[in-house]
A and B are shown apart, each in its own frame.
Chain A
Amino acid sequence: MWPELEKYINPATIEKFIRIVFILVIGISSIHLITFMLRRSLRKQLSRQRMMLISRTIVYTGYTGLVLIVIKEFNYDLTALFGAAGVVGIVIGVASQTSIGNIISGLFLVGEKSFEIGDVVRIGDKSGTVYSIDLLSIKIKTFDNLLIRIPNQSVISSELTNVTRFPIRRLDFQIGVAYKEDLRKVKTVLETVARNNPLCLEEPEPYILFQTFGDSAINITFGVWFEKANYSAVKNSVFIEIKEAFDREGIEIPFPHVSLYAGEASKPFDINIRNTTN
């Protein structure tokens, strides 16, 4: 047994082993050191997304190179390996079309810059904060703290809404008022609500548009501009203030209702509610 062991454990192999360990230690340390230094120096110039992309490129390339160096140390013939890799590559490529599609879609997504880590996005019926942008997918953290993984191919082929791309946004309220109301007064009341709410931006000015003569009410769109961080506060406060202002001014927000008529010239049906006790 011992002579066979001597074949593997001898000064030459021990030296090789030490060299490989040394290469691995130096290599891994260098890769992480380079990544760390790049992150520190480029933190302010680049977005989180780009930093992540660059550091992952360095890490993957670095480890690939390290593996090839270690394989070379074992005296394996790399040319044969590359030759086999070509065939293997074709097989893997066919088998992993979807994954490759996701990788390429991911590169296009990053290049397009339509969203970044930290942005709030809406894809289909899913909304949340972009948590990470990875090789095959993006991950979104929903507002109720769930993590959704969406393949990059789905993202690139879907309509995506970036809610927080711009620093300010407009929040539209759809309001219906009764037909009997004085619309000029309604407009004044809404303008006052916006003016008195300090979170509603004075400029761009609030937007009031009388939309349609609806079935039960005159429909109005009332839009207020705000800084994107104040969404909840603005929505709740303006909602409450509209209701309070309308109550104060006696402006009716009607329920959906239908009036019955027998014919053009006749009066509405007389409806009496009877209290019946059994």
Chain B
Amino acid sequence: MKPQSFWKKYTLKINQTLLFKAGYSEVLLKHSPNGWIVKANTFSQAAAEMTVEELNDLTDDQNVLHFYASDSNELFVVPALPDKAVVFRNNKNIKVSAGQSARLFFRIPLNMQFYFGQVKEENRITEVPLQRLSDTWFGEIDEGEPAYSIGSNYDKSISDVEANAWEAIASVEIINNTFGVLDIQRLILRVEEFNLYKKGDQILTSHVAIEFKGQEQAESVALSVRDDFHGEKPELIAKSRLSDTKKLLRRSFFFIKNIYQN
């Protein structure tokens, strides 16, 4: 099933059950007379493609969620980025010389959100990650922030990116605005602030431009839409989790100063 026909509005009759399968997760949803019944499962292998199929029924057991809601029969399935920042761990020695910039592309697994009636916070039935990312820590061990890890994979051009249907592609431009060489060791992307756009079969995040001003200063981070990445008229399919901010001053890089104090 093509991604654009997965992320959409569904109309369910009473007692109708649908199975949504994507990534490493599946969600069974039944429209009951007084709301929704939900069951989510995860697997060790990713599904080959994203599918929606109708089932006869959903077995009501202790792992099932009963969501009492209005009698709306409309179900919205919406993609979302993870609920925490993601960290890229550079194992391949990426360096940016003074005054230069580097453009990198990352694949970020999506979450699947289900809403009834309308796409708004209070109408969210459930949210399921399509791939459980590992927890990690960005920063020093006595301060810093929790995040997910997206490993060390990246691509240098959009044409090289082989994203799964359940992954979003993030375009990140790193500008070294110092007189020294920037050695990218750990890069954090605060995806809670990114929007999601649809371009054909691909799901893209906001374009991120990070201006590095030195190890002791916070970086300037700007989110935007770019023609060369999003196309001329990108379709916004999901807004950021946090308020719509265009320009931020943030710590985006972490430099490992010494051997971990084990």
Encode A194-232 as 1/0 by CB contact (under 8 A) with B.
010011111111010100000000000001011100000
Whether B136 contacts A202 by the Cβ 8 Å rule is yes
**How many contacts A-B (CB < 8 Å)?**
50
Q: Does B135 contact A (CB under 8 A)?
A: yes
For B138, the closest partner residue in chain A by CB is A203
**Chain A residues with CB below 8 A from B68, complex form:** none
- Any chain B CB within 8 A of the CB of A168? yes
Whether, in the assembled complex, B122 has its beta carbon less than 8 Å from a beta carbon of chain A, the answer is no
Q: Which of B134, B141, B142 contacts A195 (CB 8 A)?
A: B134
Is B143 close to A, CB under 8 A?
A: yes
Interface presence of B133 (CB below 8 A): yes
Is A86 interfacial (CB-CB < 8 Å)?
no
* Distance between Cα atoms of A93 and B81 in the complex (Å): 64
* List of A residues within 8 angstroms of B135 by Cβ: 198-202, 226-227
Check if A166 sits within 8 Å of B132, measured CB to CB: no
| Contact, CB under 8 Å: A204 / B141 | yes
Q: Is B231 an interface position by the 8 A CB rule?
A: no
Main secondary structure of the interface of B (DSSP, over half): strand
Contact A167 B143 (CB under 8 A): yes
A167-B143, A225-B137, A227-B135 known; A202+B149 contact, CB < 8 A: yes
B200 on interface, CB distance cutoff 8 Å: no
Which residues of B are in contact with A by a Cβ distance under 8 Å? 87, 89, 132-138, 141-144, 146, 149, 186, 260, 262
A-B residue pairs, 6 tightest by C-beta: A202-B136, A202-B149, A207-B262, A202-B134, A204-B260, A166-B142
Question: Could you list some 21 contacts between A and B, CB below 8 A?
Answer: A166-B141, A167-B137, A168-B144, A198-B133, A198-B135, A199-B135, A200-B134, A200-B135, A201-B134, A201-B135, A201-B136, A201-B137, A202-B135, A202-B136, A204-B141, A204-B260, A205-B260, A207-B260, A223-B262, A225-B137, A227-B137
